[in-house]
Structure 1
Amino acid sequence: MANEITLKALQDASVDAKSLEEVVNGNESKQVTTRLGESYPSVKKAISQMFENGGLPATPFATKALMEASALIDGDYALVTDDTTTSNNGYYQKQSGSWVFLQWNPSKQLTTYYSDVMQYGPPSDVVLVESDNLYNSSIKSNDVYIKNRGSVITALSGSQIGALPVVSGQYCVIFSSFTQSFVLPSVSNSIDMSVGKEVQVLTGINSTTVSAGIYRLEFTIPSGFSYLLFNTKVGTTVADPFFVGLYNSQISKIGSADIVDKAARAMIKPSVLTNKKWAAIGDSITEHNFRANKNYHDYIADDINSLAVINYGISGTGYFDRYNIADTITQTDFDYLTVFWGTNDWGNQKSTNQKLLGGFLDTGTTTISGCINTALMGLITRFYDKKIAVITPLPRITNWGDNAANNAYGYTLKQLVDLIKRYCNHYSIPCLDLYHESNLPVWIPAANTEYFTAPNNSDPDGLHPNDAGHKIIANKIKAFLESM
């Protein structure tokens, strides 16, 4: 027979039910004392304390002093939250009568990591990305050298100065058999390397000896300068080997740990131009000169990993006077060869190109057609195993479109372009028609100013692209080369 429920049991049950209700429904500050004298936090308060205490059964205290004055015993946890001494805040456990600061302190560790990141300076094991050798022996001036005294370019037979376009803030490194006093890295706002030109010889260079007779010079390009100049030969003494590189701000590794997604990189198809060599034949649009800081081939090389450019650009030249180009190429280990000529053939700047256009398949070099035929046949014959391509001349302010005027020898630039394209079709040579597809509307005054004004010049010339113009044709030429 079941026990009878007494009045006292009902009264106790009522008190217990009320306590349970307060535990379940109490707010975050509610502490419930039960009928038996035990004290419990409400569910909301318990959850709040659990998060505040990081999951530990820790009693919170505003200060370390309040914690130390508490009646907690060995084994109890405590959390100090608002002590004015920041290092006192965190988790503690009472051990052998003393409060021990715990190593497990998430908020303190997060603060430490954040502080480390905010104060980050590259440690010794950070690997910066460094460029390939940018030294180009074709950008030089002979029989001159940079003189330290007076920071001026001075005449000296047999000497030589090299130059490189740079930007403010770039971090540069030079390897040379010359010491700093001979290299004399200097900056200028132009590529002018003539006698009497004043330059700024750099100071604050970090010079170290790499090995016997090899020196490393490190420095940063100051603001306001666009060219780095340096001695590569003084008298009969030659700086060999010679390396000029530019650091950028990318970090590839910290210690031995990669910080790139190798799987993602593996999914990216590399350009067919990667690790290839490109012989770029042309005129002043290919040659490095004052008309642009970088040419089309420089921008393409920037985009392609380890694409080496051999620059055969010479101002004022064309098919008319370099029809024997195949015989003059000395470095033959290239993969791609492009011919970017034509504007000087039409322009008649020299007595040597005062020639009639001539007829298709002319031989000899008395007509422009014969010069084109001779040049292309010579290249095909000698370099039949290379990828050869032709780029037509750009439209120019003095001759563009279909209705342009004839030059003094009775033909337009378009007629010359059409003849070049016909030879390419005949000899199965890929041809990029930049006369019709350049996206450089030189006849529009604003476009002429935007794309054909040389650095440090105020007026466009309607013929030579500047950096902005070279960037546009670089994208087209890159896609063209990759399609071959």
Structure 2
Amino acid sequence: MLKDNGYFRKLSMLIKTYQLAATVEQQVRIKLIAIEPIIGTLTVRQQNWLVNQLFTDATSDISTAIALNLLILWNTHDIEQLKLNLIAQYATQAKLIRHLLQDVRRHLDELILWQKTASGSLIDVQLVTTLAKMPISSNKTVGIIGDSVSFGLKATTNYGQYIQRATGSGVQNLAISGAHLSDNGYNSIYQQAQRLEKAQLYIFQGTDDDWLANVPIGSLTDKPNESYLGAFYHTIKVLKQKNASSKILTLTPTYQVPVKGNKVRRTDETRNKLGHNLHDYVRAQIQASYVLDIPVVNLMQKTLFNPADYQFRQLYMPDGLHPNERGHRIIAKEIATAYNYYFILSENKKSN
């Protein structure tokens, strides 16, 4: 049963608008009946997120005149007058209902995943509930850049999605598998940063791909295409230029033991052609974060990720390299905890 709140009463009015405009009331009713049992399993915060998403999707597909009429409806609930305005000003009403049904189907997929989470994993429910109560939930927009880990390769749910579902934040995740931090083209994390929209919180993951590609560690004075640290500095610079008041968190890579069958392909201790192992790049990233006064979430801790342990690997990182959804729960919790420490507790200490 739907939880009683003003958002859903307004959604009902919005749906009626579509029904009148496109004269396909039965189709809409069928879709809403399909959604209702799933919506009932969600929290009020998640329900409100869905309604806001549907309303945003709907109004983006409507002309300025129709959007104005919707705003009139929002305040007056004058259905009959709205119907006349729609008929007079918008000749392709059928397009509206097609978009609505597409939006319903898209969000229904997300709701089904939520339902599976609620019915299949108490840990997921506890995580989402915990994150929703933490200060990170105050951010309405979050931007994420990184490589396959932030992308969520090998995971049904990545840490950005956990944060989004718990907080209702708008999360833009531009991470790409195999991305270098150093600027070697479109996929690079440096160029991902340039494509990000303005956000209140940026999450910037360091990568192991530069280590594997023998990219020099370099220094913060290098250009973004010259070294790992040069790209690190310029990526931070790009994020600050997008929103000077934004909060930025960087993530390190994790320990890794990539396996194929029973054979270990390499470890984080393996040295590249420059004589560096992954730990050298992680130490450089942490030191650079301190220099630039950017909080860093150090995921290279065996108390968090220990893929050398067979049982841990089976549960959290089956291929020894990419965290699955269980591993991403760990990352999401670490991000939220670090956010609280660096941006809430530390700031309070400074003010006192």
The TM-score normalised by the length of structure 2 is: 0.58
1:435 deviates by: 1.2
**Contact 1:277–1:308 (Cα < 8 Å) also in 2:** yes
1:309 and 2:163 aligned:
no
* Cα displacement string for residues 359-391 of structure 1 (whole angstroms, at most 9, x for unaligned residues): 453335222222222222222334322111211
**Contact 1:325–1:379 (Cα < 8 Å) also in 2:** no
More strand by share: 1
The one-letter code sitting in structure 2 at the alignment partner of 1:302 is R
The equivalent position to 1:365 in structure 2, one of 222, 225, 232, is 225
Question: What is the aligned partner in structure 1 of residue 319 from structure 2?
Answer: 461
Question: What is the aligned partner in structure 2 of residue 284 from structure 1?
Answer: 148
The one-letter code sitting in structure 1 at the alignment partner of 2:281 is L
Structure 1 pair 438–365 and aligned structure 2 pair: CA distance change class (3 A): farther
1:295 and 2:158 aligned:
yes
1:302 deviates by: 3.0
* Cα displacement string for residues 16-67 of structure 1 (whole angstroms, at most 9, x for unaligned residues): xxxxxxxxxxxxxxxxxxxxxxxxxxxxxxxxxxxxxxxxxxxxxxxxxxxx
* Cα displacement string for residues 311-348 of structure 1 (whole angstroms, at most 9, x for unaligned residues): 1121111312322344222x22x210010131222232
Query: Structure 1, unaligned stretches of length 5 or more?
Result: 1-121, 133-176, 178-207, 222-236, 250-267, 349-353, 453-459
1:473 deviates by: 1.7
**Contact 1:273–1:482 (Cα < 8 Å) also in 2:** no
Matches within 5 A, 1:49-64: none
The one-letter code sitting in structure 2 at the alignment partner of 1:399 is T
Cα separation, 2, equivalents of 1:269 and 1:446: 31
The equivalent position to 1:477 in structure 2, one of 304, 326, 335, is 335
Cα separation, 2, equivalents of 1:363 and 1:469: 34
Question: What is the aligned partner in structure 2 of residue 127 from structure 1?
Answer: 3
1:374 and 2:234 aligned:
yes
Q: Which deviates further from its counterpart, 471-480 or 374-383?
A: 374-383
Structure 1 pair 269–302 and aligned structure 2 pair: CA distance change class (3 A): closer
Structure 1 pair 298–325 and aligned structure 2 pair: CA distance change class (3 A): closer
Structure 1 pair 365–269 and aligned structure 2 pair: CA distance change class (3 A): closer
User: Secondary structure of 1:212's match?
Assistant: helix
The one-letter code sitting in structure 1 at the alignment partner of 2:256 is R
Question: What is the aligned partner in structure 2 of residue 395 from structure 1?
Answer: 255
Structure 1 pair 270–375 and aligned structure 2 pair: CA distance change class (3 A): closer
Question: What is the aligned partner in structure 2 of residue 212 from structure 1?
Answer: 21
Identical-residue share of aligned pairs (%): 23
Cα separation, 1, equivalents of 2:332 and 2:220: 30
Cα separation, 2, equivalents of 1:409 and 1:436: 24
What is the total number of aligned residue pairs between the two structures? 237
The TM-score normalised by the length of structure 1 is: 0.43
The equivalent position to 2:191 in structure 1, one of 276, 301, 324, is 324
Question: What is the aligned partner in structure 2 of residue 271 from structure 1?
Answer: 135
RMSD: 3.7
**Contact 1:365–1:374 (Cα < 8 Å) also in 2:** no
Cα separation, 1, equivalents of 2:302 and 2:142: 22
Question: What is the aligned partner in structure 1 of residue 350 from structure 2?
Answer: none
Cα separation, 1, equivalents of 2:139 and 2:248: 17
1:385 and 2:217 aligned:
no
Cα separation, 2, equivalents of 1:424 and 1:270: 24
The one-letter code sitting in structure 1 at the alignment partner of 2:283 is D
1:414 and 2:282 aligned:
no
Structure 1 pair 270–355 and aligned structure 2 pair: CA distance change class (3 A): closer
Matches within 5 A, 1:112-123: none
* Cα displacement string for residues 428-470 of structure 1 (whole angstroms, at most 9, x for unaligned residues): 1111111136611111111111111xxxxxxx21111111111
1:240 deviates by: 3.7
**Contact 2:139–2:200 (Cα < 8 Å) also in 1:** no
**Contact 2:134–2:336 (Cα < 8 Å) also in 1:** no
* Cα displacement string for residues 237-291 of structure 1 (whole angstroms, at most 9, x for unaligned residues): 9964524142878xxxxxxxxxxxxxxxxxx9763523521111122222255x1
Larger Rg: 1
1:476 deviates by: 0.9
**Contact 2:223–2:234 (Cα < 8 Å) also in 1:** yes
Structure 1 pair 211–342 and aligned structure 2 pair: CA distance change class (3 A): farther
Cα separation, 1, equivalents of 2:20 and 2:139: 29
Structure 1 segments (4+ residues) deviating >4 Å? none
The equivalent position to 1:337 in structure 2, one of 194, 199, 202, is 202
